[in-house]
Chain A
Amino acid sequence: MEPFENVKSIVTPLDKVNVDTDQIIPKQFLKLVQKSGFGKFLFFNWRYDENENMKSDFILNDPKYDGSKILVAGDNFGCGSSREHAVWALDDYGFSVIISSSFADIFFSNCFKNGILPISLESQIVEKLLQETSPIEIDLENQIIKTSSEDISFEINSHKKKILLEGLDDIAQTFQFEDKISEFEEKSTVPSVL
């Protein structure tokens, strides 16, 4: 995983609550066996009509937001299915920061495995950011969002922050505890399946 770098861009305001992962990446695109190329299917049913023409009223289709790296959305973002394809699609499309007043647990965890920073802020601040038209800057090291008018600080678990900043490979980290895992297995009373 690449280390997370500070981001400066305009925000794409997706003013909806309870955006579920079925909307982020519909089921017909879950059949692929690789991780790449999901960006073109992001929010597919909201972006395209039945003839696969772009719907002009959907925010991602507004050229104003081309190149935006920051998505701002309403409460409970990423709820529903555990499909990591949702994060791969957001990443492939170009988003590296998602801001919401709350995230569903599995989606939240999936973000960190793919170098995406999910930021949880109070609803009033999210409301304000939904209206923000100037570029904003995300400084993960200092946990600050710099807007044209103010600096907003955000919380992040120090361990998760480290993973993003250093682009750590989770599994390689875990292998350092090989002896502990073996020790656990020796005393485990749960039998094998087979």
Chain B
Amino acid sequence: MDVKQVVKQWNTVATEVAPVDYAVCGYDYDVAVTAGKIHELAEVMLQNGFYLVDLMAVDVKPAIEVVYQFAHVETRCRVMARAFVENNEIPTISDVYQGANWHERETRDFHGVVFVGHPNLEPLILAEEDVDLKPLLKDEKSILDVAAIRRVQPETESAAAKSEASKSQEQS
């Protein structure tokens, strides 16, 4: 697999493709897409031989973020694809990656995300009577803004530290 070629393909569907420091974060690429494009991205992934590692949701403001993790069996290339739900809905990818079927049902259980086009969006992990429980949704007090869970780049971090240091010097 040629990673450069794949990055080009991602760029045609994604809003942002960013390489990530594997040593710190444990994955290689961050691919942001809109909800409408996630199905197209999944097709690109499958064509290039990626397998679906995981699918999960994070409850943040302004909207729940669904994270798809892909990896490749030949080359080390671990990808986190992210999309925000629109009106609590996002298209299913279970017709491309059948493994997503259960992950999507689980995400429906825990966060109440509706996967449009899913063949059988019934409760999987939770009991049928707990269909409206959505246990992993955050309450008003603890929910964070999406900016608060993004990694601050080390350069800007050190720059911020420097500016703070200079500030404290001025004060002294």
Verify that A and B bind, or say they do not. Answer: no
Binding site for A on B (CB under 8 A): none
Binding site for B on A (CB under 8 A): none
